[in-house]
Amino acid sequence: MQGKLKAKSFVSLTGGFFLLFALSIIHLTQGQADYSVSDLLSGVWTEGRIQDIVVSLRLPRLAVGILAGGALAVSGAVLQTLTNNPLASPGTLGINAGAFFFVVLSTILFPGFVGGFPFATALLGAVISSLLVIGLSGKQMDPVRVALTGMIISLLFASMTGTMQLLFENETNGLFLWGSGTLVQLNWGGVQFAAPVIFVTFAVVLLLAKPMDILSLGEDIASSLGQNVRLVKLAAWGMAIVLAATTVSVVGPIGFIGLMAPHIVRMMGIRGHLQILIHSFLWGSVMLIGADVLGRLIQPGQEVPAGAMTALIGGPWLLYLAWKTARSMKRGERQMGGTTKPIRLKMLVPILIAAIIGVTTLALSFNGSAWNFDWLSPVVWEFRVPRVLTAFIVGVMLAITGVILQGVLRNPLADASVLGVTSMGGAGAMLLLVVFPAIPPAFLPLGATLGASLALGIILLTAWKNNFQPMLVALMGIAISAFGSAATQILVVKAKLAVASALVWLSGSTYAKGWDDVQFALILFALFIWPAVYITRSLDTLTFGDDVAAGLGLNIRSTRVWALVVGVAISTAAVSIVGTIGFIGLVAPHIARRLVGFRHLPLMLSSGLIGGLLLVTADFIGRTLIAPNDIPSGLIVALIGTPYLLYLLKKMK
């Protein structure tokens, strides 16, 4: 047995070092000017252009990639042990997103203090993100709950980061590419800063290897063996956070390395934390350098973010892990958090309509600095009225999507953004812009439909045999969402879009919507509202559970397929009109459910009105807060909706 383990360890180390060496040689030959291996061998030892480029630019990039990949892999291995969660990593837990937000914030507020490597602020953001995940996930650290919590926290910090980048475009110039994760280095400064921190932290983690072996047996057993469980967990959490923060401060947020590398090491038969940590460092370096090599092969002469490439590669891997994790756990249903004393619909609807009229009046009459009650004036009628109407219709559609998907999956955190439909729809539309740069905006729905349909197809194929187990579908959605976001980042770079315009579209905006957009939105709404209403009775039956619903004669599988198709179609329509807006489909159904209860027809009506109200309000705030500048509605919605979702996560059983 011991001999087999040593043999597996030898194969892993030998293969890893060989791959790292080969990839490093290829990596050094790539750049604005490609050099052959013979050019490198002859030019690196003599003074000249090749030596300057290799020594000053390419070797630092290679070195920082090896360090960052290893650090992320070790951080992921530690987090997976601490949370007993195969889906844990700095990216999936929101640690990278939190660290990056605080880097952006500090760059704006204290540019002189931050300097070249904002480690202190990145560390602060990583700590805050970790505390949020730990506090909101509960003591049990349920894998699905942890993954969804991490995703929501990532969305929160991403929305705040996007807002800061739009408000302070000059101050944050250059952070868009870096925020996607890039190994670009202009000198040895990044390596000189990161290397001591990473090596010292890695050494401390290795000292914690044996305590983590004991901890993996369970906290009760570890305590009975005399281990100070709290101290070990605190030290390990701290080291994992330091490793993640260090990489973010030098190369930006790079995901999936910390997720994939430890799993690959375990699949090769490596056991024991000491061996797992050492091998993870090696294979994390291999994976990050390999991703950077692949990115420059795909787009020679241009800088494709390494973080986007790792997400593109890691998305399918997360799909596999999600499938494996969901199958290994018991089928569970989530408490949907309704009310036992629903408000009468005939009382609630007038209140919501009055609120909508009030916000609409404000939106039409105020431009951020002056009032204008002449609604027939060209400025109001041609610009504000269609914008408000578009926001309301899209808000209704997004809320209805949330009602359908939460009903199908019996998961209160289900939404088009969680299922990856929104991000894949955005990626599809962006792909169309890249392939056909002069294409009219009216054709963007085609690209969005193709992207969203691909997301739906993946979900249907993977979940069909498991009777659309809600847990499995939700985890699949997280993986697809990450893949779609990575694809969009790469397409934005390839299309050479202006950073501000790309951020606006990716954040979701009702800016410059006209009467043609209103007409298009109304047509799509009229097309999809009837099938949405038709499935409400089936969704009511599903609330009793699969066994009861089947006993009542409901075809569970076909109902879920039909409902998913309808929900995805409505979401795709919304993306094609205003871009990628999340949170409406998460927040509106929850608010409505607490007011009117579980029945889906009144729930859909009230959710639609609440969703429309939320998006009109967000559009008004975004248009007037820093007028004449415009903040995308999607960012405002995220900032409004996230606190409620965090509260919901804390209360959820």
The string of pLDDT tens digits covering residues 499-523 is 455 555 666 777 778 888 888 889 9
Per-residue pLDDT of 175-224, as tens digits, reads 766 777 888 888 888 899 999 999 999 999 999 999 998 988 888 888 88
Query: Do residues 603 and 473 both lie within one domain?
Result: yes
Q: What number is the average pLDDT over the span 13-21?
A: 92
Query: Do residues 440 and 492 both lie within one domain?
Result: yes
**Whole-angstrom distance, CA of residue 587 vs CA of residue 634:** 13
**Whole-angstrom distance, CA of residue 523 vs CA of residue 532:** 15
Query: Do residues 136 and 180 both lie within one domain?
Result: yes
Q: What number is the average pLDDT over the span 153-158?
A: 82
Three-state secondary-structure class, residue 551? helix
Closest CA to 80 of 252, 357, 265, 226: 265
Query: Do residues 284 and 186 both lie within one domain?
Result: yes
Query: Do residues 495 and 379 both lie within one domain?
Result: yes
Q: Which helix (H) or strand (E) holds 113?
A: helix 111-114
User: Of 287, 322, 357, which marks where a domain is finished?
Assistant: 322
372 vs 592, higher pLDDT: 592
∠ CA 135-138-141 to the nearest 5 degrees? 110
**Whole-angstrom distance, CA of residue 480 vs CA of residue 311:** 10
**Total domains present in the chain:** 2
User: Of 271, 291, 322, which marks where a domain is finished?
Assistant: 322
Q: What is the model's pLDDT at position 332? A: 47
On whether the CB atoms of residues 360 and 616 are closer than 8 A, the answer is yes
Query: Do residues 495 and 632 both lie within one domain?
Result: yes
Q: Which of 384-398, 479-493, 504-518, 561-575 has the highest mean pLDDT?
A: 384-398
Beta partners for residue 366, in sequence order: 371
**Whole-angstrom distance, CA of residue 134 vs CA of residue 137:** 5
Three-state secondary-structure class, residue 165? helix
Per-residue pLDDT of 608-618, as tens digits, reads 999 999 999 99
Query: Do residues 448 and 528 both lie within one domain?
Result: yes
Q: What is the model's pLDDT at position 184? A: 85
Q: What is the model's pLDDT at position 349? A: 85
Q: Which amino acid is at 377?
A: S
Per-residue pLDDT of 324-362, as tens digits, reads 766 665 544 444 555 545 667 778 888 899 999 999 888
Cβ neighbours of 107 (radius 10 Å): 20
409 vs 188, higher pLDDT: 188
Closest CA to 601 of 535, 522, 547: 535
Asked, for residue 231, whether it belongs to a domain, the answer is yes
Query: Do residues 627 and 534 both lie within one domain?
Result: yes
Asked, for residue 330, whether it belongs to a domain, the answer is no
Q: What number is the average pLDDT over the span 439-463?
A: 77
Res. 68 pLDDT band, cuts 50 70 90: very high
Query: Do residues 290 and 358 both lie within one domain?
Result: no
**Whole-angstrom distance, CA of residue 55 vs CA of residue 44:** 8
DSSP 554: -
- For the chain, state the CA radius of gyration: 25
pTM of the model: 0.81
Q: Establish whether the linkage from the previous residue to 211 is cis, with ω within 30° of 0.
A: no
Half-sphere exposure of 109 (CA within 13 A, CB side): 9
Residue with tokens 């309301």: 392
Strand ranges in 453-498 using DSSP code E only, listed in sequence order: none
Res. 140 pLDDT band, cuts 50 70 90: low
Closest CA to 427 of 456, 447, 401, 457: 447
- Cα 148–chain centre separation: 10
Q: What is the model's pLDDT at position 240? A: 95
Query: Do residues 308 and 393 both lie within one domain?
Result: no
- Phi, psi of 86, deg, nearest 5: -70, -10
Asked, for residue 121, whether it belongs to a domain, the answer is yes
Query: Do residues 100 and 53 both lie within one domain?
Result: yes
Q: What is the CATH number of the domain that holds 535?
A: 1.10.3470.10
DSSP 443: G
375 vs 184, higher pLDDT: 184
Per-residue pLDDT of 296-310, as tens digits, reads 887 766 677 888 888
CA distances (Å), origin 154, targets 284, 340, 483, 523: 22, 33, 15, 34
- pLDDT > 90? residue 72: yes
Query: Do residues 457 and 564 both lie within one domain?
Result: yes
Three-state secondary-structure class, residue 627? coil
Per-residue pLDDT of 459-497, as tens digits, reads 777 777 666 666 677 677 777 877 887 777 777 666 655
Asked, for residue 77, whether it belongs to a domain, the answer is yes
User: Of 289, 322, 355, which marks where a domain is finished?
Assistant: 322
On whether the CB atoms of residues 403 and 463 are closer than 8 A, the answer is no
Both tokens assigned to 489: 């980042």
Cβ-based burial of 562 (10 A; exposed 0-12, middle 13-18, buried ≥19): middle
Asked, for residue 525, whether it belongs to a domain, the answer is yes
Q: Which domain holds residue 624?
A: 345-651
Q: What is the model's pLDDT at position 18? A: 94
Q: Which of 172-186, 401-415, 436-450 has the highest mean pLDDT?
A: 401-415
**Whole-angstrom distance, CA of residue 350 vs CA of residue 526:** 22
Q: What number is the average pLDDT over the span 548-568?
A: 82
Asked, for residue 291, whether it belongs to a domain, the answer is yes
Asked, for residue 28, whether it belongs to a domain, the answer is no
Asked, for residue 423, whether it belongs to a domain, the answer is yes
